Amino acid sequence: MAGAFREEQDKFRDECGVFGIFGHADAANLTYLGLYAMQHRGQESAGIVTWTGQRMAVEKQMGYVADIFDEGRLARLPGHSAIGHVRYSTTGESRLENAQPIVYNTNKGPLAIAHNGNLVNAVELRAELEEEGSIFTTSSDTEVFLHLMARSRVDDVVGALRDALSRVRGAYSIVLLAKNRVIAARDPQGVRPLTLGRLRIEGAPDARVVASETCAFDLIDAEPLRDVEPGEIVVFDAGGTASASFAMGQRTAFCIFEHVYFSRPDSSVFGKSVAESRRSFGRRLALEHPVPADVVVPVPDSGVFAALGYAEESGIPYGMGLVRNHYVGRTFIEPKQSIRHFGVKVKLNPVRSVVAGKRVVLVDDSIVRGTTSKKIVKMLRAAGASEIHMRISSPPTKNPCHYGIDTPRRKELIASTHDLEETRKFIEADSLGYLSLDGMFTAFGRSENDSCAACFSGRYPIPLTLPDPQATLFPTDEPHADVSGERPAETFPRLVRTAKT
């Protein structure tokens, strides 16, 4: 159904990471560290909310985790339970009130929510809720969860969440903070990752943690326990950990792109090491697209493990022919093409001694618009490479993601508008080879039927609901109040409904 989306609307844009902790005196500090480890999942805004025992304390702002939180700010977040969020969205929705966690005083008590993923029926649900009198204060699909919970006839927060989850469709790994508990839930298809862990505290019960990626646990010395199952709600409170299933037996749709690009290689995602997946993709790529060459060069950091696999399988030496400046953000998030072109140069520089006079196999995880690859090929040629053979450790990215990875619109995806030879010409490589879809899943060791590979195959495992072509997704241009991070927590809005209800 995606094809029926209007081109300019065929995309929800959001990339996020979530974190939650229950039962630790340093809940906010540990959340800060967890978010710091997951900065790659969203660089636009970050936020932490704690339950102080009396109220929700919240600090959120646009920017990087390390820039937002200092000692003073973390000191304003007392409490033994916390949730946090990092987010990236596009310019239109790039504003502080869309920063998460979203906090509301509801008829079920104060609630905060952090969400990774995208709902596919958010437009309809929002329209329906507004029709019934709900007033939204953000343009984010995440707010729908809270309105649905507030509308539930069940008083208990977990029961209300179950009600809400029976209405939403799409990808969601969510953490909620309520009075004295942290709740985690994952959509029935398990599109986005969500993992449980524990943090040992001497002489006290373990603190319990939940995060999008296990790299967040490593930094705080927490032990990963297991994934939140697709369709599972997990509750941490003083009584321990409780779990309930709200949807069972559905086809899973684990996002393969988490393994291709998005997750950190040192994380375990969907129970598998991301580094090892990438290495297997690289090995398979070498089998599918061999080429006589002198050196295998990764595009750092995204191509490193795949290049290692390619080098191992092909027997061609691995060489760090490109060095990355680590003080530059992901070029991809720069909003303007002009800046992005420049950005590649700022970020990557060739190592002449590794590539000069050499036939180079250049390995990256994906080609999106093609502009990065084009720049890199040019740079390597200028540094003296005699041939450049581009190898991509995933199939051509032809379709936008509707489940929570930021990809450009279809018409901006080079593989959707150009065939292989046209793409090769555009990036000016001597040859170009992509890993096949079958090859990727063979290397991954799982079936496409358990996964989501829609960005490659166009087969969307969760049917997309078409927005009304006349409607904007959520209004983004109306004037809005400045929701400064300094704002006292008590002033967070009550979740309101108008007299129409």
Catalytic center residues? 16
The residues, any chain, with a CB within 8 Å of residue 70's CB and separated by 6 or more, are: none
Q: What does the alpha-carbon distance between residue 218 and residue 260 come to, in Å, rounded to a whole number?
A: 21
In the bound complex, which residue of the shown chain has the CB atom lying closest to ligand AMP?
372
Amino acid at 43: Q
CB of 261 to ligand AMP, least distance (A): 5
Cβ proximity to ligand AMP: between 105 and 263 the closer is: 263
214 forms bridges with which residues in the sheet?
none
The owner of tokens 């991809």 is 332
Q: What does the alpha-carbon distance between residue 205 and residue 210 come to, in Å, rounded to a whole number?
A: 16
CB of 194 to ligand AMP, least distance (A): 19
Cβ proximity to ligand AMP: between 39 and 250 the closer is: 39
Q: Taking phi first (over 0 means left), then psi (-120 to 50 degrees means alpha), and beta for anything else, what does residue 346 get? A: alpha
Give 246's Cβ-side CA count (13 Å radius). 23
Which one-letter DSSP state was computed for residue 86? E
Q: For binding to ligand AMP (CB under 6 A), which residues are involved?
A: 261, 299, 302, 330, 332, 364-373, 405-407
The residues, any chain, with a CB within 8 Å of residue 434's CB and separated by 6 or more, are: 289, 392, 394, 395, 396, 420
Cβ proximity to ligand AMP: between 144 and 344 the closer is: 344
CB of 91 to ligand AMP, least distance (A): 15
Cβ proximity to ligand AMP: between 234 and 367 the closer is: 367
DSSP string, 166-212: TT--B--EEEEEETTEEEEEE-TT--S--EEEEEEETTEEEEEEEES
CB of 331 to ligand AMP, least distance (A): 7
- How many H helices and E strands in the chain? 17, 23
CB of 277 to ligand AMP, least distance (A): 15
Q: What does the alpha-carbon distance between residue 399 and residue 407 come to, in Å, rounded to a whole number?
A: 8
CB of 421 to ligand AMP, least distance (A): 17
Cβ proximity to ligand AMP: between 343 and 461 the closer is: 343
Q: What does the alpha-carbon distance between residue 244 and residue 233 come to, in Å, rounded to a whole number?
A: 5
Q: What does the alpha-carbon distance between residue 134 and residue 325 come to, in Å, rounded to a whole number?
A: 47
Distance of CA 58 to the CA centre of its chain: 22
Cβ proximity to ligand AMP: between 226 and 411 the closer is: 411
